[in-house]
Amino acid sequence: MDTLAYKAAMLQAEGDLPRAAALLAPLRPNADHTSALETQVYQAILERRPAQIISRLTEILVKPDPALGYINGRLRFWLGWAQDVSGDHAAAQESWRQARSELESFLKEQPENSSLLGALALTNMGLGDKAAALALSERGIAALPVEKDVVSGAGPIEILARVAAQMGEPDRAIAALQQVLSIPGTGALDKYMPLTPALLRLDPMFDPLRDDPRFQKLAASPAPK
C-alpha cells in the first residue's frame, strides 16, 4: 500500500492527477497507514473534490487510535482542510479547533517535533490565528534547521510558506517558496510529497498568491531533477 501511495505522490508532484487517482482508488488505508491516507486526502484536495474523503476521514476519526499520538490531530487538520475546500467552513473551523486541542496536548512532551509544530502551525492558520501560526512555523524551522538537515529541513520552510501565503504575507511566502524549490528535500505535508512547481499550480493553499508575478514564475519553473 505504501509503495502505491509513494508512486501516487510522485505523480501528484508531477501534476499528473489522473494517474495518481488510478493508483489511489483501490486503496482503503486506515489511520495507521498515515502516509497512504494523507496522500489520498491530498489527491482529493488537489482535485477540489473532497466529499468522499471527508466521509472517510470522519469515519476514521470517530474512534481515533490513542497509539497514534499526535497523528490523530494531524489527520483532523486534514479533515478541516478538506471541509474548507468543500465550502463547509463551519465544519472546518470545528475540526481545526479540535485538532488544535489534540495537537497542543502533545507539544509539552515533544516541543522539538517539527512535524507536530508544522501541523499545529497549519491548524492555527486555518483558525485565522496569524501570530500563533507564524510563531509555530518559526519554531519548526528552529527545531529542524536546513543547515543541519538539508533534506528534512525543507519541510518547516514549506510550512512557513503556506502559512505566510494564507495569512497575507506574500513577500515571506515567496521568499520561503524560492528557498524550498531550491532544496532537494522532502515535503512538509508528508515525506512522500516534495513541493514542486506543479503542486504550486494545483494546491488551493496557494490560491492567494496566484496573481503575484513572482509566484507565477515559480509555478511555471521546471521541476527539480
Nearest CA-CA partner of 143 in 168, 179, 107, 175: 107
DSSP 222: P
- The answer to whether residues 71 and 42 touch, using CB atoms and an 8 Å cutoff, is no
Whether the predicted pLDDT of 202 surpasses 70: yes
pLDDT at 192: 65
pLDDT at 223: 67
Match 489534540 to its residue by C-alpha cell.
102
Tens of pLDDT, residues 8-24: 999 999 999 999 999 99
Nearest CA-CA partner of 77 in 195, 85, 10: 85
Whether the predicted pLDDT of 53 surpasses 70: yes
Nearest CA-CA partner of 20 in 38, 37, 5, 35: 5
Reduced to 3 states (helix: H, G, I; strand: E, B; else coil), residue 53 is: helix
Domains and CATH numbers, the chain: 2-219 (1.25.40.10)
- The answer to whether residues 195 and 183 touch, using CB atoms and an 8 Å cutoff, is no
- CA quadruple 47, 83, 178, 191: dihedral sign: negative
pLDDT at 186: 79
Sequence-distant (6+) residues with CB within 8 A of 139 are 117
CA 128 to chain centre: 16
Nearest CA-CA partner of 9 in 192, 205, 155: 192
Tens of pLDDT, residues 140-156: 999 999 888 877 889 99
pLDDT at 224: 59
**What is the rounded CA–CA span in Å between residue 150 and residue 92?**
33
Percentage of the residues of the chain whose pLDDT score is greater than 90:
84
Average pLDDT of span 57-72 = 95
Match 496569524 to its residue by C-alpha cell.
130
Sequence-distant (6+) residues with CB within 8 A of 84 are 92, 126
pLDDT at 171: 98
